[in-house]
Copies of this chain bind each other. A is one copy, B any other.
Amino acid sequence: MINKLVAGIKKTGAPIVVGLDPTMKLIPKHIMEKAIREYGPSLDAAGAAIWEYNKGLIDAICELVPAVKPQIAMYEQFGIPGLVAFDKTVKYAKQKGLVVIGDVKRGDIGSTSTAYAIGHLGSVQIGDKVCRAFDEDFATVNPYLGSDGINPFIDVCREEKKGIFVLVKTSNPSSGEFQDKEFEGETLYSMVAKQVAKWGETLMGDDYSYVGAVVGATYPEVGMAMRKVMPKSYILVPGYGAQGGKGKDLVHFFNEDGLGAIVNSSRGIIGAYQNEKYASFGDEGYADAAVMAVKDMKEDIASALG
């Protein structure tokens, strides 16, 4: 899957992943109203609306970007109907040729981490049949519990040729509260990054490892340092756009081959139609607005990378 991701980035020229993070504020009014007419005001209506919204977005952008990243929290808040929409979204995006990064930030220990890995990347034997649950291509993983939490994911990834992105330095203002703490002159995030490089060595694709990292666009100097610590790890970069990260900040996250990083934008793309700049598309043109926003983002990154 890391090879497919790299090939997709080369083919589209867009090191961009579109965050499919539906919220009530982002779903266009006409879609939500239609769902409420059909299902009444209910979790079912929310699930149906999310699915229609996402399908429109995927149809519009599937040739322009290599990957999408649904944030499962945004689906989980609507319970089972929300997770049904997550499931449909993953399967549909894959069918359209997109790599799917499940932004699930799971992390537990031993058999529990194995269960998460199975649910999101692997398969489970039931009776005489092998069954697959959510079946994303990549998952994001939280490292707080140490190797016991990560190794079960790596085992499943090795079998499935899939990958993970481990949280190293997140994009939020308070990420430093624990991640920036220094012991013996080294920050926690740097220690995690070293482990990412080590875990990754055991699981290499053609040029990059199946074990990537998350480093926020809002901390470009960290990106520069971590790029060197994990030369073979793809860096998933959140925080561009709505959270304040800019194109020029992204340079440091890439290797000299122009690869090694993939930048996420969620609201900036899927909610572009609510942005003054793209307002002329109107609610009904939300998918076309997303296409324009992707093109603008691609240009912003390309011009920064020179």
Binding site for B on A (CB under 8 A): 21, 23-24, 32, 36, 40-43, 45-46, 71, 73-74, 76-80, 82-84, 87, 105-113, 115-116, 118-120, 124-129, 131-134, 142-149, 167, 170-179, 181-183, 188, 191-192, 195
| Count of identical protomers in the assembly | 2
B78 touching A119, Cβ below 8 Å: yes
Known contacts being A175-B148, A178-B144, is A126 close to B73, with CB within 8 Å? no
Q: How distant is the Cα of A21 from the Cα of B127 in the complex, in angstroms?
A: 19
User: Given that A79-B134, A115-B74, A183-B182 are contacting pairs, would A145 and B167 also be in contact in the complex, using a CB cutoff of 8 Å?
Assistant: yes
List B contacts of A192 (CB < 8 A). 178
Contact of A23 with B77 in the complex, beta carbons under 8 Å = no
Docked pose: A170 CA to B146 CA in angstroms: 10
- Chain B hits for A125, CB < 8 A: 24
Asked if A87 and B79 make an inter-chain contact with CB atoms under 8 angstroms apart, the answer reads yes
A133 touching B172 in the complex, CB below 8 Å, given contacts A106-B73, A126-B36, A128-B41? no
Q: Which of B24, B87, B147, B183 contacts A177 (CB 8 A)?
A: B147
Given contacts A41-B126, A74-B112, A115-B76, contact A181 B174 (CB under 8 A): no
Q: Are A148 and B173 in contact (CB under 8 A)?
A: yes
The residue in chain B whose Cβ has the minimal distance to the Cβ of A111 is B23
How far does the Cβ of A104 sit from chain B's closest Cβ, in whole Å?
9
**Contact call A172/B148, Cβ cutoff below 8 A:** yes
A147 to B175, CA, bound (A): 8
Query: Which residues of B are found within 8 Å of A131, using beta-carbon distances?
Result: 41-43, 46, 78-79
How far is it, in angstroms, between the C-alpha of A192 and the C-alpha of B144 when the chains are bound?
Answer: 11
Question: Complex: how many Å from CA A181 to CA B21?
Answer: 34
Instruction: Name the CB-closest residue of B to A78.
Output: B133
| Docked CA distance A280–B209 (Å) | 51
Question: Could you say which residues of chain B place their CB within 8 Å of the CB of A173?
Answer: 148
Are A146 and B176 within 8 A (Cβ)? yes
